[in-house]
Chains A and B, each alone.
Chain A
Amino acid sequence: MAQSPAHGADHHDHHAAGHHDPQDLKLLGFWIFLVTDVLMFSTLFATFIVLRGGTDGGPTGAELLEINGIIISTFLLLTSSFTSGLAVLAMHQNKVQQMIIWLIVTGLLGAGFIGLELNEFLHLIHEGATLQTSAFWSSFFTLVGTHGVHVTVGLFWMIAIIIQIVRRGLNSDTKGKITVFSLYWHFLDAVWIFLLSIVYLMEVM
């Protein structure tokens, strides 16, 4: 109920000619952060590609990487990107419950992805491929692990946003947070596409 007037005011602010909505500026600021994240991943990708032959006589990626688990985690992350979009759609229709349900689905899919990734890492370590094994495995764990850390941070961030929305309801502030979070989540899926392609598919082909 209390949100209704705030919502109306929000719309009018939007239309003040020549003035930027603070939420739009926050969104742009977050875009710039994502671009700097692209730059960090680009150095990690470049390192991996350059060092991919450096297995030092130890296990190679083609020997140890299992594509079946990766296919499942790819579809988990892709679906979670889709459901985070559905959460944003529900948010714009002011359907709070529906939005929280989609966010929880997104979180569960993301947690499943992280679970599979940890399982994969444990399997690799068990097979004798660790961060110290060779240049190839160092760059592999750094690149894939950095993405995994991003997903993990995203999960905690999402939980914090859900708690805040349960307490304060939807307003222009919490709406901005959801929008920015979904952008981050789509970005992680976009990075994963290149991890799947350059790390996994090119290694096992």
Chain B
Amino acid sequence: MVKRGKAGWQKWLQVFIHAGAWLPIAYLVISALLNNLGFNPVETVMRFTGRAAVIFLLLSLTCTPAAQVFKLPWVKKFRKPLGLYAALYAGLHFAAFAIWDYGFNLPLIWSEIANKPFILLGLAALVILLVLAVTSFKTIQRKWGKGWVWLHRLVYAAALLVIAHYLLAVKGDLFSLQGAYTAPLIAAGVLLVVFLLRIPVIYRNLKKWWGRSSKPEPDLD
């Protein structure tokens, strides 16, 4: 009975996360139907889907360190769905760019992205996320074993590419930090924290600190 109770509210959390992940799409569809996407709908949709992709990717990457530090192993379960949603929103982001904005005019798209690291970085991240998405099935994971684990570590490369893409998308100068950098810097900060938490010394100490400061709670179950 005890076990089932725990699984019950975790299931609800899972439902909550899936529902939350579809909300941005629902919001966009409703806004589109109400003709409420602003004066530059392509830009609105591209920014919105881009931000959603960044947020879901960062949330996905936060799962493992959070599970370790706070000793909540079940949090790891959300890593995969959140990563899949990141791939979904990255795909929509690129579709808005290539299909809606550029009418799938390949020569024009190519001339836009050739020699433009800003778009190429994003494209590279998208390719990684899509490869990870189509190889995310449990059967493939089991079959590939260690190789699968290594392949899926590419998600960290994708995250770095995405943050670089985000930082390069705004007007300004990164090295002097002059420009519209607030949002991309917050994203970069979160990614930095995620990376720091993967360093054994850091997460072990944090784990200890957490274990000490959070007194053993009475078992609610």
A binds B: no
